[in-house]
Amino acid sequence: MAGLNFIMINMPIIIKNPGRKDLRTIIQDVGQDGFAVLAPASSELVLAPGDAVEVTCNRLDARYEFTTTVRRYLPGDPPLYYLAYPDDYRRLQVRSHVRVRAALEFRYAVCPATDGPARPTRLHKKGVTVDISGGGAQLVLREPVAVGDLIYMEFHLPGRRRLPMRLAGRVKRAAPREIDGVTRYEAGVAFEGISERQEDEIVAFVFQRLLEEKRRRGERESGS
């Protein structure tokens, strides 16, 4: 099962081997037929080719669990264990979504709550996100919307995909806001009908942004 989108470089994981101490490590590389994790410098956990291990990947939106096998050990700097992609996995939903601040421009059209669920054919208005998560987003719009309206959106996630992402968000709260002396309208939306793949792509984007923010904070602290 190649190309699992929840297996990403720098993703923290936990490897369990029966009768031995759990190994908390990170993914260092991903390939066509497997992925590599950082091996301990000590004898904290010794894995041999053919060993069956249980792996847990904790994402912002869900926890993934699967059983796989160790393919090989590669000594070096750093030392790596190579593991096979699993044939199957379990996805355990995490209800809360972590948001990240992100100004993403998008096109949209509004379907008022009273008009029914008809999808508009043209997304002609423009807005920008304030933050985003796998469950929804905070938007800034030029025109007012009402709680219950459905906003059809189209936007690109930087570095994630070439084709635009198309989603629908139900307005949960809305209020006017003054920005640089101009009246704009903030709307908090909850995504509806979002596919697992779309949610995973947004969560991956959020996770990457959080890593970048953490790295920038570390650089600022080390430079002070």
Return the domain boundaries, the chain.
12-93, 100-213
Domains 12-93 and 100-213 are alike in CATH topology: no
Greatest mean pLDDT among 75-79, 87-91, 124-128, 220-224: 124-128
Mean pLDDT of the chain: 85
Cβ 70 vs Cβ 49: under 8 Å: yes
**24 neighbors 39 (Cβ within 8 angstroms):** no
Q: With 90 as the cut, is the pLDDT of residue 161 above it?
A: no
Q: What CATH architecture applies to the domain 100-213?
A: Beta Barrel (2.40)
pTM value? 0.56
CATH T-level topology, domain 12-93: Pnp Oxidase; Chain A (2.30.110)
CA distance 137 to 149: 14
Is pLDDT of 174 > 80?
Answer: yes
pLDDT above 80: residue 3: no
Q: Could you tell me which residues come within 8 angstroms of residue 53 by beta carbon, excluding any fewer than 6 positions away?
A: 15, 16, 17, 47, 67, 68, 69, 70, 83
| Chain-centroid distance, C-alpha 195 | 13
Is residue 120 very low, low, confident or very high in pLDDT (cuts 50, 70, 90)? low
Q: What is the pLDDT of residue 137?
A: 95
d(C-alpha 170, C-alpha 149), whole Å: 6
